Amino acid sequence: MLTIKHFLFAFLCVGLFQSAYAANLSSSAYVNITSDTAANAKNIAFDEARKQVIKDVLSQYADPEQLNETLKNANVDDLTNLVASSMIEGEKLSSSAYSANISMEIDRKNAKKWLTDNNIQNWLPDETEFDVFLVQVIMKDKLADWIEINKIAREDNIEMLTKYINGNQITVEIPVSNRNAFTIAVAEKGWKYYNKDGVLRIWK
């Protein structure tokens, strides 16, 4: 068991070290729009891609229902201000249509302010909060699995703060210094894990 622990620790240090400190706030959306002119189609396409990327990225760090409701009537200029950079691939246009795969990176500082200003419950870390990371716990048996996760945290002296509960999914915050220890501990108990955009997802 000691050998296995050493192997897991070495593997996790390599795979998780960089992502432990900051989330990757980027995503992409494929759009295919027809309008009266190609220019209008392109404008509409970018508006749709922007909303989709913002939804995909920020729904991991904010209440999904509040976010979706706010996005419905959000000001275009406000949403544009959330985009730090964008890239277009596979662009195609005709006299009345536009399609492309549009990638965008969200500006953390502006996104945090926009979520807060619109009273959207969120746990998006700002630039001074990189000493913690998020874990999304996806449970089959909510009571039994949650009891087990709390037991694992207690046994390893890991401080765990509940941030958001949505059905069978609970989002918690854990110190970055405990990331490797926590991941090894849950893996040994049969939990699967996957790191995406700086968020650790675990499930059975």
110 & 137 share domain: no
| pLDDT reading at 4 higher than 50 | no
Q: Are residues 101 and 130 located together in one domain of the fold?
A: no
Phi, psi of 191 (to 5 degrees): -80, 140
Residue 38 and residue 109 in one domain: yes
195's tokens: 């790191």
- Which among 76, 99, 117 is the end of a domain? 117
Structural domain tally of the chain?
Answer: 2
52/89 same-domain check: yes
Q: Are residues 61 and 9 in the same domain?
A: no
Tell me if residue 136 falls in helix, strand or coil: strand
Between the alpha carbon of residue 40 and those of residues 43, 51, 102, the distances in Å are: 5, 17, 16
- Nearest CA among 104, 108, 107 for reference residue 128: 108
**13-27, 42-56, 88-102: least confident range:** 13-27
Name the domain boundary from 54, 83, 117. 117
Do 99 and 54 share a domain, yes or no? yes
**Domain final residue pick, 62, 90, 117:** 117
User: Per residue in 157-197, pLDDT tens?
Assistant: 999 999 888 889 999 999 888 888 999 999 999 999 998 76
Whether residue 52 is found in the same domain as residue 131: no
Domain that holds residue 194: 2-23+126-203
Question: Does one domain contain both 19 and 41?
Answer: no
Give the angle subtended at the CA of 175 by the CAs of 198 and 160, to the nearest 5°. Answer: 105
For residue 135, what is the domain's CATH number?
3.30.1360
Q: Are residues 61 and 138 in the same domain?
A: no
- Strands, sheet with 83-93, edge to edge from the N-terminal-most edge strand: 26-34, 97-106, 83-93
Does an H or E element contain 39, and which?
helix 38-58
Residue 37 belongs to domain with CATH number: 3.10.28
Residue with tokens 């995406």: 196
Is-contact 165 182, C-beta < 8 A? no
Q: How many angstroms separate the CA atoms of 45 and 134, rounded?
A: 32
- 105, 90: one domain: yes
**Predicted confidence (pLDDT) per residue in 15-39, tens digit:** 443 333 456 789 999 999 999 999 9
